Amino acid sequence: MKNAYTSLLILGLFVLAILSTTLFTVYATDRAIITRLGALLKNKEGKVKTLGPGLHFKLPLLDSVHEFDVRLNLTEIPSERIVTKEKEVLMVDVFVEWRIHDLPLFYTTTQGRGELFAGRDRAEQLLRQNVKGVLHAEFGQRTLEDVISGDRNQLMQKIVERTDENAKSYGMQIVDLRINRVEYPPEVNDKVFARMSSERKQVAVRFRANGEAKAALIRAEADKTARIMVAEAEKEAERIKGEGDAKAMQIYADSYNQAPEFFDFYRSLEAYKKSFQNKQDLLVLKPEGEFFKYFRKGPGNSALHREKE
């Protein structure tokens, strides 16, 4: 009885071993092909047999399974020196979205290296060569302005069409391609920056010179206007002053004609007031002089009184 259990156990292990070498699973994100003794396994119609998701069988020791990820892949193309139609050197970075379109052709082209993600490195190498060649061809027919703004959409569409056409020859489909960066190389950047800085400085100097010229004109016009206004004001002031002096003289004359003795007395008082403003002032004059005639006391000494008499 014990030997029967042992035999059944050995038989079960042998069956499991056989099943493990004959059964394999393909996941939903993958597709697989089988090579039998190195040749691609074909169906009854003579086409290469492609296996979808699920459980599949193979012949032990004779068949080899090659699985491929058929999801959308993203590959970044390193910076490449591209020369435009104007002989401008640019550094261009792009990234490409692609997927496997023809699995047998993809396997044959990439030589089926690896298992899961088989041929990925070889495929990306072919993809980079393809994209770089198309970039050189398309950029070489366009100016820098077309690349940056003018013809950008048409350029991208053309690049996608040409890279997709080339990629079909090794079983790939280009879904999309985008330019990540377009710039000058580092050594050119410094020259471009220096040239732009020089141009901006020239513009700044020109604007500054124009501003100074306009400022000088404005200042000259303002000075001219100010001088004219001052001259007219001085002229008007002199005229008003002359009129005032004339009126004052007329008033003085009229006053003198009406009361000469009072006018003389008033003028003397004004002279006394101006002469004796400071107590420290000292005048050495004869009291009998004409200047002091109104200082003499007494009705007999008063000039004004004598004139009235």
Residue 41 DSSP class: P
- Range list of β-strands (E), the chain: 23-26, 30-36, 39-40, 50-51, 54-57, 63-69, 73-83, 89-100, 172-183
pTM: 0.54
Domain boundary among 42, 69, 96: 69
Summarize pLDDT for 42-92 with one digit per residue, the tens. 877 778 888 888 888 888 878 888 888 888 888 888 887 888 888 888 888
Domain co-membership, 157 together with 79: yes
Q: What is the pLDDT of residue 114?
A: 42
Residue in this structure with the two tokens 């970075």, named with its chain if needed: 93
Domain co-membership, 115 together with 91: yes
Alpha-carbon gap, residue 249 to 234, rounded angstroms: 22
Residue in this structure with the two tokens 């050189």, named with its chain if needed: 136
The torsion of the CA quartet 210, 213, 219, 225, rounded to 10 degrees, works out to -110
Q: What is the pLDDT of residue 285?
A: 63
Residue at 229 is within a domain: no
Is the Cβ–Cβ distance between 33 and 56 less than 8 Å? no
Summarize pLDDT for 104-144 with one digit per residue, the tens. 888 888 864 444 444 677 888 888 889 999 988 888 888 77
Structure tokens belonging to residue 145: 């302005």
Residue at 254 is within a domain: no
Q: What is the pLDDT of residue 218?
A: 92
Q: What is the pLDDT of residue 309?
A: 43
Domain co-membership, 264 together with 298: yes
Letter for the amino acid at 9?
L
Domain co-membership, 112 together with 174: yes
Range of the domain at 12: 2-69
Which residues pair with residue 124 across a beta bridge?
Answer: none
CATH of the domain at 92: 3.30.479.30
Which of 101, 102, 120, 100 minimizes the C-alpha distance to 110? 120
Domain co-membership, 49 together with 124: no
DSSP symbols for 132-154: HHHHHHHHTTS-HHIIIIITHHH
Q: What is the pLDDT of residue 304?
A: 44
Domain boundary among 69, 88, 117: 69
| 3-class secondary structure, 51 | strand
Q: What is the pLDDT of residue 174?
A: 92
The torsion of the CA quartet 74, 78, 84, 88, rounded to 10 degrees, works out to 150
Is the Cβ–Cβ distance between 30 and 68 less than 8 Å? yes
**Angle 241-228-226 (CA atoms, 0-180°, nearest 5)?**
110
| Domains of the chain: total | 3
Which residues neighbour 69 within 8 Å (Cβ) at sequence distance 6 or greater?
A: 29, 30, 100, 116, 117, 120
Residue at 53 is within a domain: yes
| 3-class secondary structure, 37 | coil
Each of the 309 residues of the chain gets a pLDDT tens digit; together they read 566 667 666 666 665 666 567 788 888 888 888 888 878 888 777 788 888 888 888 888 788 888 888 888 888 888 878 888 888 888 888 899 999 888 888 888 886 444 444 467 788 888 888 999 998 888 888 877 777 776 677 888 888 999 999 999 888 999 999 888 888 777 666 666 777 788 888 888 888 999 989 999 999 999 999 999 999 998 899 889 888 888 888 887 777 777 777 777 777 777 777 766 666 666 666 666 666 666 665 444 444 444 444
Domain co-membership, 64 together with 107: no
Domain boundary among 11, 39, 69: 69
- Helical segments of 23-119, H only: 103-110
Domain co-membership, 304 together with 285: yes
Q: For the sheet with 73-83, list strands across it.
A: 73-83, 89-100, 172-183
Alpha-carbon gap, residue 263 to 294, rounded angstroms: 13
Phi, psi (degrees; rounded to nearest 5) at 42: -115, 160
